[in-house]
Structure 1
Amino acid sequence: MHLQSCKELVRRLQGQDGDVVGEEVPATPKKIFQLLNQFIEALSSIPEPELALRLYLQCAEAANDCDLEPVAYEFFTQAFILYEEEVADSKAQVTAIHLIIGTLQRMHVFGVENRDTLTHKATGYSAKLLKKPDQCRAVYACSHLFWVDDQDGLKDGERVLLCLKRALRIANAAQQMANVTRGNSGPVTLFVEILNKYLYFFEKGNPQITSAAIQSLVELITTEMQSDTTTPDPAADAFFASTLRYIQFQKQKGGVMGEKYDTIKV
């Protein structure tokens, strides 16, 4: 049975447990999900772990749409097991982690305990990616798991800040390594990317993201770019200049947002 067809059938069956398809076989959402699980397990034994992981996450989303928390959690658990045991290529790991983070961000069905368990796993795996820049980007992506606009209960400003600070530490470590090897200016771009995350959560009203913290980060990036050990990078320079123009634009716009940005000097 085609996966998408199964998912559509699950949605149609939602709320109709015990209905009969045909004359004899009761088809419930849980049974359809069991079939899907068997189908994906067969794929992972071929092996096609990356495809299987993607399908586990799609099924988790479908279970989320049906408000089946235990089923969604089981699919996420299978995805994590597959990631840990079968996804060995570093580039494939990066892709998989971002898929996991993106899917988890869209989930609303999980209670506090299950969500915390899955989020902890996602952030842990993010920090263990092979390359520092990949670690940094995955960790700051995890910040969105703690601040979801359409879910009032998911706005934990402190944990957002902890994620961003962790990403900064990783970016700083990458910068130190680049200063030793020279010729690698990528980490400066990481700082600018993190600055943009700070601005995002600042505008969203996260009280932990202050104008003072943004000011410090702007000054840090300026210092790094002027450092003799940093190789010039036109793309990073343009990215930073664009970000500063955005801050300036917000300052000049006036209103509530203009007031928020007013104390940031660029």
Structure 2
Amino acid sequence: MLDNEELEEMLKIICVVRKHLMTGGPRRLPFTVPPLVFSALRLVRQLESQDGDIAGEDVPATPRAVFQILNQTIEVLSSVPCPELALRLYLQCAETASDCDLEPVAYELFTQAFILYEEEIADSKEQVTAIHLIVGTLQRINVFGVENRDTLTHKATGYSARLLKKPDQCRAVYACSHLFWVDDLDGIKDGERALLCLRRALRIANAAQQMANVTRGNSGPVTLFVEILNKYIYFFEKGNPHITPSDIQSLGELINNEMQSDNGNTTIHSDPFFTSTLRYIRFQKQKGGLMREKYDPIKL
């Protein structure tokens, strides 16, 4: 572990490097800012492990102050413009702030990421990537209280449901179910809201299937339904009391019906993904014990 004097020197170096890098221009900043950010985040973790603050003139002495500098540094990227890179860096900083138990800092960084998404990221493909980055990062963060977490998850699910393409909407919405049931965090196990996300994703998948029926004359692939079925199975095994064997049974029967209604395709279980899922269910039944009791009511 570095002593206080060495940490103080590293802080000074980062401040000097930042001052020079900010003059690099829009073509260089996307390449020079990320290494600076990650070096500063490594220093934040070292500062957090110290018993006391670092004293020094004109040098930030706390993790909170370093995050303030990082916020200002990343903000420059949005004017380059490199909004997607800036969003990634904001989320990385938010995760580090969470590890340092700095809830207000993590919340502010997430807010900046949301503002970037709303105002700067217009391309549909970039929006899909950004949403999954936001959801994945928020899922790993455990520093937020109930009110702040509810605000952020509400925004994330809202953005997910407003993506341009139905399949993208569906996948983003069912990914949001993991925001309400985080297996590693005992305090975040809202089975009802996780189920609501899955049901909403199912409605979107059904709308996408109907659109495929209109445009192509058949029901199209059942991939979205099978993906949602696998999410049902995941939460069922994790002990979500709101997901029952009858839910899995009904969704499996729906997939069977969709596959049978496909013109020219009357073979049930011909979808490889669905076949693999059914094989997994049978495998769980063969285990015996509690797992067999859980899966025994499912007849697929």
After TM superposition, the score normalised by the length of structure 2 is 0.84
- The one-letter code matched in structure 2 to 1:86 is E
| SS in structure 2 of the partner of residue 46 of structure 1 | coil
- The structure with the larger Rg is 2
- Superposed, which structure 2 residues align to 1:188-199 within 5 Å? 188-199=222-233
Q: 1:189 to 1:234 in 2, by over 3 A?
A: farther
| SS in structure 1 of the partner of residue 222 of structure 2 | helix
In 2: Cα distance, 1:134 partner to 1:263 partner:
32
- The one-letter code matched in structure 2 to 1:69 is E
In 1: Cα distance, 2:218 partner to 2:143 partner:
43
Matched, 1:170 2:204: yes
- The one-letter code matched in structure 2 to 1:93 is Q
**1:115-169 CA deviation, whole Å, 9 max, x = no partner?**
0000000000000000000000000000000011121110000001000000000
Q: What does residue 55 of structure 2 align with?
A: 20
CA contact (8 A) 2:83 2:120 kept: yes
In 2: Cα distance, 1:58 partner to 1:233 partner:
47
Q: What does residue 114 of structure 1 align with?
A: 148
Q: Which runs of 5+ in 1 are unaligned?
A: none
| SS in structure 2 of the partner of residue 27 of structure 1 | coil
CA contact (8 A) 1:143 1:159 kept: yes
**1:72-108 CA deviation, whole Å, 9 max, x = no partner?**
0000000000000000000000000000000000000
Counterpart among 229, 233, 242 of residue 276 in structure 2: 242
Counterpart among 254, 262, 274 of residue 220 in structure 1: 254
In 2: Cα distance, 1:132 partner to 1:126 partner:
10
RMSD: 2.0
**1:184-232 CA deviation, whole Å, 9 max, x = no partner?**
7665100000000000000000000100000000000000001045879
- Superposed, which structure 2 residues align to 1:32-181 within 5 Å? 32-181=66-215
In 1: Cα distance, 2:152 partner to 2:218 partner:
34
Residue correspondences, number: 265
Q: Which runs of 4 or more aligned residues in structure 1 lie more than 2 Å from their structure 2 counterparts after TM superposition? A: 15-18, 23-26, 183-187, 228-236
In 2: Cα distance, 1:186 partner to 1:82 partner:
36
Q: What does residue 3 of structure 2 align with?
A: none
Matched, 1:29 2:63: yes
| SS in structure 2 of the partner of residue 93 of structure 1 | helix
After TM superposition, the score normalised by the length of structure 1 is 0.95
In 2: Cα distance, 1:89 partner to 1:248 partner:
42
CA contact (8 A) 2:135 2:175 kept: yes
In 1: Cα distance, 2:268 partner to 2:253 partner:
19
Q: What does residue 28 of structure 2 align with?
A: none
Q: Which runs of 5+ in 2 are unaligned?
A: 1-13, 15-35
Q: 1:121 to 1:212 in 2, by over 3 A?
A: same
- The one-letter code matched in structure 1 to 2:53 is G
Give me the identity figure in percent. Answer: 77
What is the CA distance between 1:236 and its match in structure 2? 7.3
